[in-house]
Chains A and B, each alone.
Chain A
Amino acid sequence: MLRIAALGTETETSPLITSAGRMTGVECERIPLDRDPKGFDAVVCCGLQGDGVETICEQAHGGKHLLIDLAVLETIADVGAVVDACRDANVQLIIAQPSRHFPAVQTVRQSLDASELGAPGLLRIHRWTADADERFGQLLLREIDLANYLLDGLPTTVYAVARQAGGIPDLLQVHLGFNGGAMALIDITVRLPEGDDYYSLSLIGARGAAYADDHHNTQLLYRGGSAVAERTGENVAQWTELLQQYARAIEDSSLEAIGVDSALAALRVTTAVGRAIELGTAMHWQGEEYEPV
């Protein structure tokens, strides 16, 4: 039995605990950040506030294997610190991106892998949420990682624009170019009124296209006045595959860190997004880092 301690808020950890509940040989429990995960074999970091990376490194030093949600990491230096800590402590590290494992995203990825869509040309993502508490950087990191995942690589060009209200960013639009001419446009807002969020992901390939859109998955509820659109959710089991991979890696004792390159790639792009906004120009990949055109 693999005993896993889940770090993060209830919202952050509940999909993980739901997924673990569907597996055999795994037990998962959410614990407060200040509680010592003694008695657990491994720690999954779904979300952390403040001194997040220090907390992660402490877990590694305490001999716990680590599965970290990519969005917990903020900088390239964070990745280096965690990798070093896990290597020094001889524990398994996986940096994961749960959004990759949403059923809709997996369907698109499988369609690409089956060559149904042909060479990808355009990825379009709209990510609108009412969760003003969620860090913009986390949302951005997730969507950038998805772009890299679905378009198979690091973008060669990055451009971005942002809107601010009262000094706080409320809207971000990122425009990416990839080798071979593929492109991505991602817009994110955290300022929807309280209630449902909205997500849409379209991928246009040379031979076909895939449209994963909340707009297509709404049902109508009539209670007088205008009908209400209710979304039928994708029951959240995106952590199941990750937990299986995690359990296998621990069992194999390979101790090879997984997901580090993807994390570094996504963080390089988010750093370039910040620079593009600051400088008002496009950033081009120069082999080591992004530079303004």
Chain B
Amino acid sequence: MSQSNGDRPYRCAVLSVVKHAYVPHAVAAHPRFELTVVTDDPHAPDWVHERNQEFADEYGIPYIRDVERAIRQHDAQVAVVSSEAERHCDLSVRAANQGLHVIQDKPMSGSVEQCDRVVEACETNGVKFMLWNRNFLPAIIHANEIIKSGQIGELHAIHVDFYFAKDSGPPKGSRGPDDPPINWLERQIEAHADGSDGGVGQAPMGELEIEGVYPLAYIHLLAGAAIERVYARTTAHFHQANVDNDVDDLATVTLEMQGGVVGSLCIGRIGAASHPDIGEIKIHVLGSEGGLVLSESRPEVEVYYRGQPPAEFRRRRVANDNDYLLMQNFADALEGDGPTILDARAGRDICAVVEAAVRSGKSGRPEIVS
């Protein structure tokens, strides 16, 4: 369903904003969109209400503890969903059923069934959906141009290394004999201060589930071939919270794709000491006529100075228009009837790959992607 809004910006309701708020900030920064209200369910816990209120105050917009009423009262056209991960799909479905287009934070869900509900709701109601991603980073755009131009011929293989050099609480092995296991949600709430709360929610999630969407979205864009079967190895190698909650912080996945394309993914939250910046993130592509080796972080500028805080990145990404281009893509989809760069069905398929990989990590066998 295309929709012209004339010169007026689209009115956006923020449906819960409990993480570091990069998604609603990016929406607000684009001239075609404006945030009009923050909303959540009345029974949400206090810490959720506090964060929602704080964000609403930052933008000088109301916070309403009733999602459906907020949407009606503010005549919202777009929902921006940035809740705890296990509520993502439910909020998206409720928004779609009220006729709102949806921008949803990652991960789409830990459950393919939940994603299927979103696909159905979006298709039934004729609304657009975009799962937040990094496919408009300069290096990804560049890679896509090279591949699509045919310079390396027919695609044979694609490999993505996606290491986040961040810590996530106490290191593995640090728990004393009388210490209780780390509570996942409490750890994630605490992690809000340093922005490492990507897995915020009641249900523990491994790196594959939290961040896997980014590299798999690269593969979706660059290879354009469905992933049919996976084989994975997973482990909790770095962080006590992951050990205590039996979720991975390091994983490798072999991807068997449509048309005989071979792929792989290495992903991990490998600790701040393991890289001077956010992490080694690389893409390797092999084609019938050549290969491409690409660093996802470039272009960047190195900055060093006396007294530099140890945690500050020495290399700063530059010319990064990812947020703007995602929102422009969403606006174009609203007005031009085309799909978004990562729509509900693509997001659902990525969730299915992650689910199969987690299953394979436990079974020790290759698993079919549903």
Q: Please, how many angstroms separate the alpha-carbon atoms of A193 and B153 in the complex?
A: 11
* Interface-facing stretch out of B127-135, B182-190, B270-278, B333-341: B270-278
Q: A171-B286, A173-B157 are in contact. Are A280 and B366 (CB under 8 A)?
A: yes
Q: Does B161 contact A (CB under 8 A)?
A: yes
How extensive is the interface on chain A, given as a class?
A: 35 or more
**Bitwise interface map of B from 330 to 368 toward A, beta carbon under 8 Å scored 1, else 0:** 000000000000000000000000000000000011100
Q: Does A170 contact B (CB under 8 A)?
A: yes
Q: Does B51 contact A (CB under 8 A)?
A: no
Are the C-beta atoms of B159 and A177 separated by less than 8 Å? no
User: Main SS of chain A's interface residues?
Assistant: strand
Are the C-beta atoms of B254 and A122 separated by less than 8 Å? no
Partner of A185, one of B163, B266, B366: B266
Q: Does A74 contact B (CB under 8 A)?
A: no
- Expressed in whole angstroms, the minimum distance between the Cβ of B342 and any Cβ of chain A is 25
Partner of B157, one of A177, A187, A202: A187
Are the C-beta atoms of A121 and B268 separated by less than 8 Å? yes
**Bitwise interface map of B from 250 to 284 toward A, beta carbon under 8 Å scored 1, else 0:** 10101010001010101010110111000010101
User: Main SS of chain B's interface residues?
Assistant: strand
Question: Closest residue of chain A to B235, judged by CB?
Answer: A181
Q: A192-B290, A198-B293, A206-B237 are in contact. Are A170 and B254 (CB under 8 A)?
A: no
Question: Closest residue of chain B to A211, judged by CB?
Answer: B280
Residue numbers in A under 8 Å from B171 (CB-CB): 206
Are the C-beta atoms of B157 and A189 separated by less than 8 Å? yes
Q: Please, how many angstroms separate the alpha-carbon atoms of A157 and B266 in the complex?
A: 17
Q: Does A175 contact B (CB under 8 A)?
A: yes
Q: Does A101 contact B (CB under 8 A)?
A: no
Q: Please, how many angstroms separate the alpha-carbon atoms of A202 and B290 in the complex?
A: 22
- Expressed in whole angstroms, the minimum distance between the Cβ of B256 and any Cβ of chain A is 6
Are the C-beta atoms of B364 and A128 separated by less than 8 Å? no
* A208-261 CB contacts (< 8 Å) to partner B: 208-209, 211, 214-215
How extensive is the interface on chain B, given as a class?
A: 35 or more
Q: Does A281 contact B (CB under 8 A)?
A: yes
Residue numbers in B under 8 Å from A192 (CB-CB): 290-291
Q: Which of B233, B266, B275, B364 has the most CB of A within 10 A?
A: B233
Q: Please, how many angstroms separate the alpha-carbon atoms of A184 and B286 in the complex?
A: 20
Are the C-beta atoms of B237 and A215 separated by less than 8 Å? no
Residue numbers in A under 8 Å from B163 (CB-CB): 204, 209
Q: Does B136 contact A (CB under 8 A)?
A: no
Partner of A204, one of B159, B260, B274, B365: B274
Residue numbers in B under 8 Å from A122 (CB-CB): 237, 250, 252, 266, 268
Partner of A183, one of B235, B289, B290: B235
Q: Does A161 contact B (CB under 8 A)?
A: yes
Are the C-beta atoms of B159 and A126 separated by less than 8 Å? yes
Q: Does A293 contact B (CB under 8 A)?
A: yes
Residue numbers in B under 8 Å from A163 (CB-CB): 156-157, 260, 262
Partner of B364, one of A157, A191, A202, A215: A157
- Expressed in whole angstroms, the minimum distance between the Cβ of B189 and any Cβ of chain A is 26
Partner of B274, one of A175, A209, A214, A281: A209
Partner of B284, one of A126, A157, A181: A126
Are the C-beta atoms of B233 and A177 separated by less than 8 Å? yes
